[in-house]
Amino acid sequence: MVARIADGAMGRVYEGRHYESKGRVAIKVLHADVARDSVAVERFKREYETATEMKHPNIVRVIEFGATPEGLSFMTMEYLEGEELGHVLRRDGRVEISRLVRVGSQIALGLEYAHSFGFIHRDLKPDNIFLCKGEQGETVRILDFGSVKLQMDTGPKLTAFGTTLGSPYYMSPEQAMGKQDVDQRTDVFALAAILYECLTGKIAFEALNVAQILIKIINGNPVPPSQRGENIPSGVDDVIDKGLRKDKTKRYPDATSLAGAFCAAYGLDADPKKWGDTPTADIAAALGTAQPPAARAFGVVSDPPPAMSPVGSPAAASAARLSSAGSITDRFSQVPGMGTNQTVKLGIAVAAVAVLALVTALLMR
């Protein structure tokens, strides 16, 4: 190992040299406490096994998997130079549209390839999208397939909330409700939420705690992008609206359909492959002469709003418990000896129970 590159919740990443090729590699090593968690280790192993089956320019390439003399699992990957999309958003707030057309198209192409194997990422988020530097623009690498689900089912199921269901901000409604029938449209929802954030600088379903985030994902709709950012065509509102539909059957059927519609909303050809390969400067030039089409108002062909639960009903009571889950976890964070990780895990567990209570109550109405 040469130098430490980054630290994450699961492990630490080092720069190193491959013992045979002597080429630069990234070495991801699980933290010692994480290595004691069988679910985390299985997720890590699944990330490696999944990535080895996929050879695509927009998916990170993995090289080998093993264990250190201390028994810590590690994985070597291609060495990437650049930064995570999440870092870009935290630093800059938004992403320039010419840059986003190229990046969004490449994300969609990588997802389409993974989906062709039956792999559903399930934890797509800005921090899992790496932007490699290049002369013609950035090249995307999708990271962390540890939460992957194979539609034709495979191997042991990872059931820990938060490790398989995805990051709360980008979870689809079906994930938020704990449903098992997730498919590629779960990743479509996450990509739509990412595009929304890149355009507006705001998280689509933002709230103070996990419970409130889940409520918004299940029942709420974000402010239309054109009302939160400048020079966003109204057609983009329709595209994001369809990508974030609560009913997955009403979303775009796949990621490239979403990306194509997004390009078309700016007056470009609905061809993610074309724009994923086009230099950013050329995309900017094309946008300068493009004529965005007129569009419907945001949400016109959207899902009907959920019926209001009468005060005192089981569903209303469950919703009240769910909205207060954050304050419960806040109180636990004051307990001596409760570390940050323990508090977060407890908060997620409380939110999960509350969501299940809400769904159960609604089904019993």
Neighbours of 161 (CB within 10 A): 15
The dihedral through the CA atoms of 343, 197, 99, 278 has a sign that is positive
Q: Which two tokens stand for residue 9?
A: 């919740």
According to DSSP, residue 7 is labeled E
Q: Which two tokens stand for residue 226?
A: 């054109």
* Cβ partners under 8 Å of residue 41, min gap 6: 30, 34, 35, 73
CB 200 within 8 A of CB 193: no
Residue environment code for 331-347, b if the CB has 16+ CB neighbours within 10 A, otherwise e: eeeeeeeeeeeebeebb
What kind and span of H or E run contains 26?
strand 24-30
What kind and span of H or E run contains 104?
helix 97-116
- Check if 254 is active-site: no
CA proximity to 224, closest of 199, 250, 248: 199
Catalytic residue among 7, 33, 37, 123: 123
109 by Cβ neighbours in 10 Å (0-12 / 13-18 / 19+) ranks as buried
- By DSSP bridging, strand 139-142 and strand 24-30 are unpaired
> What is the set of active-site residues?
123
